[in-house]
């Protein structure tokens, strides 16, 4: 063996030694294990591989969401007939949808169709008797319809369910005021204002009633 051949053998041995040392050391990258993104929102792909960049899908609103938006747009324009049409279509899709029923009651209140509003709020309560807002809204409708006993019952139930909600006390006070029960109304206005001092109308009624009594 020549000196050159011996040198080649030594070099080849060294290369194989380093290769197998690296192979069995466990330091080489493992597919699917050692790669970590540098930042939390790093995307696969990018400018170098645009074919590997994934876009966010454009999610289309559901038919129910479209109808509710149409309702809101119609109410904003005070086109209550169009709002009722949209809500009617929504109820065909989901007859027990509480948001639709509440909006329907509101629209009927705006058009003076109190019997229809009453029906919507009664449906709400049939789905959830503990809905304090439904009780308060139904009380307002019953007051409009002249059912004062029913109105009083639902006002009191709304307050029972959420005694810290100032508008419940304010609305009940309005009903009592209309019925000529001024002292009880003053108690209600005072309670409402104590719970929420931004209720300017409550403060106004308190001052008006106190000055007339004085």
Q: Mean pLDDT for the chain?
A: 84
Q: How many helices (H) and strands (E) does the chain have?
A: 10, 0
Q: What CATH number did the domain enclosing 72 receive?
A: 1.25.40.10
Residue 143 or 23, more confident: 143
Report if residue 8 sits inside a domain. no
pLDDT at 52: 58
- With beta carbons less than 8 A apart as the criterion, state whether 91 and 97 touch: yes
Could you count the other beta carbons within 10 Å of the beta carbon of residue 45?
11
Cα angle at 175 between 169 and 179, to 5 degrees? 140
Is 188 in the same domain as 106? no
Least confident window among 38-42, 116-120, 131-135, 193-197: 38-42
- State mean pLDDT over 175-188: 95
Task: Write the pLDDT tens digit of every residue in 39-76.
Answer: 444 444 555 555 556 666 677 889 999 999 999 999 99
Same-domain check for residues 104 and 76: yes
9 occurs within a structural domain: no
Q: Are residues 170 and 137 in the same domain?
A: no
Cα 26 from Cα 21, distance rounded (Å) = 9
**What's residue 59's pLDDT?**
75
Domain count, the chain: 2
- Sign of the torsion formed by the C-alpha atoms of 107, 110, 111 and 117: positive
CB of 193 closer than 8 Å to CB of 202: yes
Residue 189: give the domain boundaries.
163-214
Does residue 137 sit in the same domain as residue 83? yes
Residues 96 and 144 reside in one and the same domain: yes
| End-to-end Cα separation, the chain, in angstroms | 128
Q: Note the pLDDT of residue 17.
A: 54
The pLDDT, as a whole number, for residue 175 is 96
* Domain annotation covers residue 124: yes
Q: What is the pLDDT of residues 66-77, one digit of tens each?
A: 999 999 999 999
CA dihedral 93→97→100→105, nearest 10 degrees, is: 120
109 is a domain residue: yes
Q: Where a domain ends, among 120, 144, 162? A: 162
Q: Is 80 exceeded by the pLDDT of residue 213? A: no
pTM value is 0.70
Same domain, 168 and 133: no
Residues comprising the chain, all counted: 214
Percent of the chain scored above 70 by pLDDT?
72
- How many Cβ atoms sit within 10 Å of the Cβ of residue 72? 13
Shared domain for 202 and 136, answered yes or no, is: no
pLDDT at 140: 96
Same domain, 113 and 189: no
Distances (CA, A) of 143 to 38, 132, 174: 65, 17, 10
Give the C-alpha separation, 102 to 135, whole Å.
11
């Amino acid at each position: 063996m020549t000196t050159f051949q011996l040198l080649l053998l030594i070099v080849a041995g060294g290369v194989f030694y380093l290769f197998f040392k690296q192979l069995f050391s466990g330091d080489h990258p493992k597919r699917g294990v050692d790669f970590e993104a540098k930042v939390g929102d790093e995307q696969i792909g990018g400018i170098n591989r645009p074919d590997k960049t994934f876009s966010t899908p454009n999610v289309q609103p559901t038919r129910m969401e479209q109808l509710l938006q149409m309702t809101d747009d119609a109410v904003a324009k005070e086109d209550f007939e169009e709002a009722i049409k949209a809500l009617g279509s929504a109820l065909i899709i989901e007859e027990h949808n509480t948001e639709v029923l509440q909006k329907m009651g509101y629209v009927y209140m705006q058009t003076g169709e109190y019997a229809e509003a009453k029906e919507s709020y009664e449906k709400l309560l049939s789905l959830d008797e503990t809905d304090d807002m439904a009780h308060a809204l139904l009380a307002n409708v019953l007051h409009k319809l002249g059912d004062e006993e029913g109105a009083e019952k639902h006002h009191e139930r709304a307050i029972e369910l959420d005694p810290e909600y100032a508008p419940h006390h304010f609305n009940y006070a309005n009903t009592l005021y209309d019925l000529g029960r001024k002292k009880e109304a003053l108690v209600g206005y005072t309670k409402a204002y104590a719970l929420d001092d931004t209720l300017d109308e409550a403060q106004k009624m308190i001052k008006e009633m106190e000055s007339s009594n004085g």
